[in-house]
Amino acid sequence: MKTIIEPFKIKSVEPLRFTSREEREAILKEAGYNLFNIQADDVLIDLLTDSGTAAMSAHQWGGMIEGDEAYAGSKSFSRLEKTVKGLTGFRHIIPTHQGRAAEKILFNIVGGQDKIVPNNTHFDTTRANVEISGAEAVDLPVPEGLNPTLIADFKGNMDLDALESLLQRKGPEQIPLVMLTVTNNANAGQPVSMDNIRKTAQLCRAHGIPFFLDACRFAENAYFIKIREPGYEKKSIREIAREMFSYADGCTMSGKKDGLVNMGGFLAVNDDQLARRARNILIVTEGFPTYGGLAGHDLEAFARGLDEVLEEDYLTYRIRSVSYLGKQIDQLGAPIFQPPGGHAIYIDAKAFLSHIPPHQYPGQALACELYLCGGIRACEIGSVMFGKTDSKSGEFEPARLEMVRLAIPRRVYTQSHMDFVVECIEAVFRKRDKIKGLHMVYEPPVLRHFTAQFESL
Ligand SMILES: Cc1ncc(COP(=O)(O)O)c(C=O)c1O
C-alpha cells in the first residue's frame, strides 16, 4: 500500500491557530527574524525540533497517574531500571532530567585538560560538555557522510581508519572513551551500521579504551539496520537494539527522542567505579539516584515509552513518513540532504538560495520564508549556528553546510500536515530568486542562534 497510515487513533487533540501572512510578517519582524523568539501559539506546524515534542500514548498518560513519587526507592524507577537493563544489558542505570545532564556527569569524570574524545559527530551539547571539561571533541565522520547528494545506506558511520590512526597516536592515556552517536543527528540524522558499531568497538577494545553510544535515537537506528543491512531482515528491533548496546561499555540517552517522553534521560555504564562517581555527582546536581531530576510520573512514562518505541508498526510509520516528506520535496526539484534520515529532512539552503552568500545567511532566510508562507517553524543549521567572525581580522568564516532542518515530532502530525508543508516549500521554491538575505544586527557571545537578531536586506 502506498498510503502511510498512522498506527494509532487520535484520542486527544490540541487546536492549531491560523494566522494571516500580514500577522506573520509583523510577528517575524518583532522576533528579529529569529524563529526561537516566536510564541508557539503563532506557529502552525512546529518542526523546530523532534526533542521533547512527542505525543505520549494513552498507556503512558495512564502511567503518569500511577507514577510513584517516593523520594527514595520509587517503584517507577525500578520499572525504568528493569526496562533499560533488559534493553541495554548495562549494569548501572543513572536517571537524569535529560541527555545533556548525563553528558555533563560523564565528561566531568572522564574529561579534562589534554584529553581527546572522538565521536562520529558530536551533537552540540555533547561537544559543549566535552569542551567545558577542558577536553577536545574530535569528529570523525565517514567522507561520504559529508556529501549531501550521495545516496548511501549508512552515511552516519564513524571513519574507522581515522579512528584507528588517532587511537594509535594518542592511546588510552589521552582518550578516556570513544563515542558513537546513533543516529548521527549532527550529520542529518543518518544511521550507523551494525558493522560499523562492531568494528568501532573492536578498535576500542584493542586499544583498551571504553566505547560509549550516544543512544538518543537508538530505535530509529535499529530500524534502518533491519531494512538496510544484510542479515538483520528477520531480527526484531529489540534484538537489533540489544546487539547494538552489547558492543558498548555504556551510553548516554535523551529520552526526549526515542524514549517518547517530553522530559527524561539516563547515563548507563558497566564500570562499578564510574557508576559510583557518577551517582555522587548526580546527588549534588540532579537528585537521589532513584529519581535523578525526574518526577516519578516521568520515570513511569519513560519506561513505557522505551517499550512502545520498539514496535515495528510505529517505526515503519515513523521512518516512512520522514522519507515521504523528503521524497515530495525532492520531486519539486528542491535540494535536500540525501537520503532522508531518521528524524528530520535537511534542506540544502546553499543550493536552494544559491544567490544568497553565506554571510547573508541563506538558511535563516529560507527558514523565515517558510514561516511567512505557512506558519511553519524550522531550524537553521548553517552559518548562524556554526559560522564565526574572526574578532581580529573581522573576516567571516562560514559553516561547512547551510541547512534548514525540518525535524518531525513523534506521533504529532499526520500526512496532510506534511502535504501542507510540501505545498509551502513548493511556493517558496517557485519564488526563490526574489528571496533576500539577512544581516545579523545582534550577536550574543555563545550559542548565538538562540538569541541573535536580524534585519532583512
Ligand atoms: C544526538 C544527541 N545527543 C544529545 C542530545 C541532548 O539531549 P537533551 O536535549 O535531552 O539534553 C541531543 C538532543 O537533541 C541529541 O540529538
Residues 7-23 pLDDT 10s: 999 999 999 999 999 99
Backbone phi and psi for residue 283, each to the nearest 5 degrees, phi listed first: -65, -35
> What stretch of H or E contains 21?
helix 21-30
Assess whether the C-beta atom of 181 lies below 6 angstroms from ligand 1.
yes
> What stretch of H or E contains 334?
none
pLDDT class for 389, splitting at 50, 70, 90? confident
- pLDDT in the model for residue 401: 86
- The rounded percent of the chain whose pLDDT value lies above 90 is 93
Cα 171-172-178 angle, rounded to 5 deg = 95
Q: Which three cell numbers stand for residue 184?
A: 548521527
Residue 391 predicted with pLDDT over 80: no
Span from the CA of 104 to the centroid of ligand 1 (angstroms): 12
Return the residue whose CA atom lies nearest to atom 3 of ligand 1: 123
Q: Which atom of ligand 1 is nearest to the CA of 217?
A: 1
Cβ neighbours of residue 127 closer than 8 Å, sequence gap 6 or more: 137
Span from the CA of 274 to the centroid of ligand 1 (angstroms): 22
Assess whether the C-beta atom of 254 lies below 6 angstroms from ligand 1.
yes
Q: Which three cell numbers stand for residue 333?
A: 526539484
Backbone phi and psi for residue 96, each to the nearest 5 degrees, phi listed first: -135, 165
Q: What is the DSSP letter of 252?
A: E
- pLDDT in the model for residue 209: 98
Asked whether 53 and 409 are in contact (CB, 8 A), the reply is yes
Return the residue whose CA atom lies nearest to atom 15 of ligand 1: 123
Asked whether 417 and 429 are in contact (CB, 8 A), the reply is no
Q: Which three cell numbers stand for residue 220?
A: 530509529
Residue 446 predicted with pLDDT over 80: no
Span from the CA of 371 to the centroid of ligand 1 (angstroms): 25
pTM of the model: 0.95
From residue 242, give the alpha-carbon distance in Å to each of 53, 205, 218.
26, 19, 10
- What crossing angle do the helices spanning 218-228 and 237-246 adopt, rounded to 10°? 110
Assess whether the C-beta atom of 156 lies below 6 angstroms from ligand 1.
no
Return the residue whose CA atom lies nearest to atom 8 of ligand 1: 99
Q: Which atom of ligand 1 is nearest to the CA of 101?
A: 11
pLDDT class for 98, splitting at 50, 70, 90? very high
Mean pLDDT of the 47-75 span: 97
Residues 200-239 pLDDT 10s: 999 999 999 999 999 999 999 999 999 999 999 999 999 9
Residue 254 predicted with pLDDT over 80: yes
From residue 13, give the alpha-carbon distance in Å to each of 9, 56, 260.
11, 12, 17
CB atoms within 10 A of CB 5: 12
What residue ranges in 158-220 does DSSP mark as E strands?
A: 178-181, 211-214
pLDDT class for 196, splitting at 50, 70, 90? very high
Residues 262-292 pLDDT 10s: 999 999 999 999 999 999 999 999 999 999 9
